[in-house]
Structure 1
């Protein structure tokens, strides 16, 4: 046996011993867990094993496209929930436990090349748009016009807060679209009396008057609908992925391009149809339909406050992943939000605040969490762990 082969044999022996211990982590009793973590040799073996497996994987595996992986994470917004064992008497360094769990991950999912992903890389939860943030109206495909002050024309009343089309008078049907920027909402009363409240960074495309058997509008972003009842003329909201059909009801529809589509029913009933395969489901009040992977619907009974409190001027986040909360705050305040420690991505928040609060007040509220540190640098908010957790 030459020296090179001998090195590999020496490396394999402690690795196999530690691997045997690692395979039993999930079934260990409290006493066995305590003994394992208090054993310095075990910690040393784990560190040795991690270094060995990293070196071996980096040598043999095809180098992954890290940028593509992060881009996929960003666009799909799938935030894994990690189980942490650091309560009560388990006063062990979080970094050590994370390293051990990383070893298990490497051993069980070698083919994913996870050891080549830089988990320390900051994650941009939201990127600000530095263009002027203005509410605009577009007439029949023309250039957008800024909504400023009070306007009245053809029976339409428009001001900075709402547009009322109930008395619109046109010889033929005209198409309008109203778009909100980040940080602003806007109320639209359609020709049939239906009320639509647009959330930030959203657009509604609609006719000045409804003609025909259906009342059709198109939404990009998020809106709360209070539909005027009319059994003879169904009201249909079209988004990129779903059509929502109602007769007269209240519901919230969330369809931002980079997020999951949600239809949340407050009262009445709606039928939601997947545009890609025509599968349809019917919702009852208090239910939310989420389109999964553009194929199937996930129907759940939810706390509707989360989906509609925004219309009453509040942020309401109940057990929501940190990154989702940061996206909502970023969209409203139009600021860059960077999460420095990616281990925070699996944390979930219960958070309520007024949307009219200043960005500094929101930062102060975020710092009230025992594990979060939020700092503002101009138009950028940086999220990291509290200092006492970093030293663990």
Structure 2
């Protein structure tokens, strides 16, 4: 593997320098089509990302080396009085090689450790044997069986299999506040998991129905497979599709489904509803009802990184804000607030106190935060 990895590192270096020939570009693409190298080019298509990855190389003084490399990239060697800059420039392919080799030689995922308070702010993956691992800055890799595995980095997790297998035991991903996670399941279906949500799914799907269970909110882009329907189960309902895109929100005993394209059948003990694009349905209090046509952008704004309200009920909007930031309402939003609506579009990267000020401005309500607790005072 060493020669192949070094060849990739050399080609990536030329790619960063925009100095690849057509034949070299074709060779790099061919190499990166291999499962074990999937996603590597995306990880190294920005010079700043290499700086982040240098943290893997603990035996090097990464800051010092990187400073030398950055200087050498911006100052031509023939104009530099310091020859080490020229040497560092040519050291870059070897650094990339060391990073790739370290990444590809991992056999295990980082164990989750720490107090419950510490873990509640981490994305936690629970695998088949019950052990928990963290999804974060450290790239992770696991072989599920020959021809199937998973790879994770930051807020992305990818499962893959070369061929159909017998269905494997479930994995569970739990997402904390102020985070979303994108998962590519083994069948090619992509799921985006919202903050304070949990998805349970087979590590590898079998030849029958593909079933997952959700607590919280997720958006699914289901890979079409007429022989294997895809079913999402919540505590109140199930949604069955063949291949489509839809959002499911399940909080506080209520499930709301919004269909973007394709078709979804939503089923409960009270009956079932077939949805067309742009339609939605919800369960609440033992009933199942279809929602009027509405802007589907509202339903998936969270996936795109922002809050979006359009004459929205203040209480529901505030609950969404509290879920994202991990705030606890000290008192329920009572009937006295029902006439208040809010409108606006705000990035979910907005600091919590700034977001609360925005909510105050658009609602006329005073919000007082003490740690994770939030008090509401109607003016």
TM-score bucket of the superposed structures, by smaller chain: 0.5 to 0.7
Which residue does 1:193 correspond to in 2?
Answer: 188
* Unmatched segments (≥5 aa) in structure 1: 1-128, 387-392
Which residue does 2:219 correspond to in 1?
Answer: 224
Counterpart CA distance in 1 for 2:177 and 2:162 is 28
Counterpart CA distance in 1 for 2:362 and 2:167 is 56
Q: Which has the higher contact order (CA 8 A, sep 6+)?
A: 1
What TM-score, normalized by structure 2, do the two folds share?
0.62
Alpha-carbon offset, residue 135 of structure 1: 0.9
Name the larger-Rg structure: 1
Structure 2 SS opposite 1:369: helix
Rate the CA distance shift 1:206–1:254 in 2: closer, same or farther, 3 A: same
Which residue does 1:165 correspond to in 2?
Answer: 159
Counterpart CA distance in 1 for 2:260 and 2:352 is 30
Alpha-carbon offset, residue 167 of structure 1: 3.5
Counterpart CA distance in 2 for 1:270 and 1:366 is 34
Counterpart CA distance in 2 for 1:130 and 1:259 is 26
1:156 aligns with 2:153: no
Which residue does 1:245 correspond to in 2?
Answer: 240
Which residue does 1:288 correspond to in 2?
Answer: 280
Alpha-carbon offset, residue 323 of structure 1: 1.7
The within-5 A match list for 1:69-88 is none
Counterpart CA distance in 2 for 1:178 and 1:370 is 35
Counterpart CA distance in 1 for 2:332 and 2:172 is 39
Count of equivalent residues: 255
What TM-score, normalized by structure 1, do the two folds share?
0.60
Which residue does 1:361 correspond to in 2?
Answer: 354
The within-5 A match list for 1:71-220 is 132-140=120-128, 142-148=130-136, 149-154=138-143, 155-167=149-161, 173-220=168-215
Counterpart CA distance in 1 for 2:262 and 2:333 is 44
Structure 2 SS opposite 1:223: strand
Alpha-carbon offset, residue 259 of structure 1: 4.5
Structure 2 SS opposite 1:310: coil
* Unmatched segments (≥5 aa) in structure 2: 1-115, 144-148
Alpha-carbon offset, residue 156 of structure 1: 1.0
Using the TM superposition, name which of 206-215 and 161-170 deviates more: 161-170
Please provide the CA RMSD for this pair. 2.4
Counterpart CA distance in 2 for 1:370 and 1:296 is 31
Rate the CA distance shift 1:370–1:267 in 2: closer, same or farther, 3 A: closer
